[in-house]
Amino acid sequence: MGNVFAVTNQKGGVGKTTTTVNLAASLAENGKKILLVDLDPQGNASTGCGINGVVLEKSSYDVIMGEAPAAEVIVKRDDFNFDVMPTNSDLTAAEVELLDEDLREHRLRLALEPIRADYDFILIDCPPSLSMLTLNALVASKGVIIPVQCEYYALEGLSSLLKTVERVRQRANPTLEITGLVRTMFDARNNLANQVSRQLITHFERKVFHALIPRNVRLAEAPSHGVPVLDYDRSSRGSIAYMALASEFMRREKS
Ligand SMILES: Nc1ncnc2c1ncn2[C@@H]1O[C@H](COP(=O)(O)OP(=O)(O)OP(=O)(O)O)[C@@H](O)[C@H]1O
Ligand SMILES: [Mg+2]
């Protein structure tokens, strides 16, 4: 579990997938061996990496249900410098099917075990819910990366996420930690954004990453080309921000 990180926040549209894809690409740019696991039935991380879920023969659904080993599902491509375990809407069924399974919250952890040592870091893109899939990600992880959009309801949702993390710590994964909170889609001219950002720092102190991800149209455009922003516009503010986040993440994970 030492190198696995869940990118999660049950609030929708806060930048989880954008953070997972672009942090993965930025870490890979630094020479790290990276696996991105798409654990959201929406499959946005898969399409954002140019993988069409509709034609997938096997996906993270098969991995989590124990029907295929992770190594068989992982996509390695020459044009990308990181690997992807893709998914599609099949994964929706796992929510219900897992309820009847033994070790249902441990499925992903067990499935990643044989390939974990092949990677420096494994990043899991979670769905916008505190569901069985998210629980699987939390049980499999060393740390939690929480993207937060600095707006009015941002802090409210965080308390139930933190309670879930605490429950997982007590029951299944005692060393699970909050790696950090990432402020996403940040607009420094917006007073509310600045206010919420200050509140986050008051509550979470050093857990808030210094790297601020600005609202940047290049970050929103890149997925429609099936590539991370680094491959779409290297010099964009979005690329620079995610490279800064990757540097900070690597520094934290060394200490
Ligand atoms: N920094 C940014 N600047 C501009 N647009 C962004 C930025 N981050 C994310 N977006 C856009 O905002 C939308 C939501 O982002 P994203 O899909 O990453 O959120 P999410 O938390 O994964 O959503 P969901 O909860 O549905 O999985 C997307 O259209 C994305 O392209
Ligand atoms: Mg997403």
Tokens representing 157 are 């949702």
Q: Which of 74, 176, 56, 144 is nearest to 116 (CA)?
A: 74
The alpha carbon of 107 and the centre of ligand 1 are apart by a number of angstroms equal to: 27
Task: Please tell me the predicted confidence (pLDDT) of residue 255.
Answer: 58
Q: Is the pTM of this model over 0.75?
A: yes
Q: pLDDT digit string (tens) for 113-167?
A: 999 999 999 999 999 999 999 999 999 999 999 999 998 888 888 999 999 999 9
**What is the whole-number distance in angstroms between the Cα of residue 65 and the centre of ligand 2?**
21
**Look-up of token digits 């899991």:** 124
Nearest ligand to the C-alpha atom of residue 15 = 1
**CATH number, domain 4-254, options 3.10.180.10, 3.60.15.10, 3.40.50.1240, 3.40.50.300:** 3.40.50.300
Q: Which of 7, 10, 17, 182 to mutate to test the pocket of ligand 1 (most atoms within 8 A of CB)?
A: 17
Task: Name the residue among 31, 33, 40 with its Cα closest to residue 60.
Answer: 40
The bound ligand whose nearest atom lies closest to the alpha carbon of 184 is: 1
- Ligand 1 pocket mutation, candidates 7, 14, 16, 18, criterion most atoms within 8 A of CB: 18
DSSP letter assigned to residue 227: S
Bridge partners (DSSP) listed for residue 88: none
**Average pLDDT per run of 10 along the chain, which is 255 residues long?**
92 97 97 97 96 90 96 91 95 90 91 97 97 96 97 86 95 96 95 94 94 98 97 98 98 85
Write down the domain spans for the chain.
4-254
Q: CA-CA distances (angstroms) from residue 85 to 58, 143, 210, 222, 230?
A: 9, 19, 29, 19, 20
What pLDDT sits at residue 38?
98
Residues 73 and 62 sit within 8 Å (Cβ to Cβ): yes
**Gyration radius (Cα) of the chain, Å:** 17
Ligand 1 centroid distance, CA of 13 (Å): 5
Phi then psi for 37, rounded to 5 degrees? -105, 120
Token pair 């996906």 is at which residue?
A: 59
Atom of ligand 1 nearest to the CA of 147: 21
Nearest CA to ligand 1 atom 5: 220
Cβ–Cβ < 8 Å for 8, 146: yes
Spatial contact of 5 and 122, defined as CB atoms under 8 Å apart: yes
pLDDT at 1: 64
Indicate which atom in ligand 1 lies nearest the CA of residue 214: 1
Angle at 230 between CA 233 and CA 7, to 5 degrees: 130
Residues with CB under 6 A from ligand 1: 12-18, 40, 42, 44, 128, 184-185, 213, 215-216, 219-220, 223
Q: Is 186 helix (H, G, I), strand (E, B) or coil?
A: strand
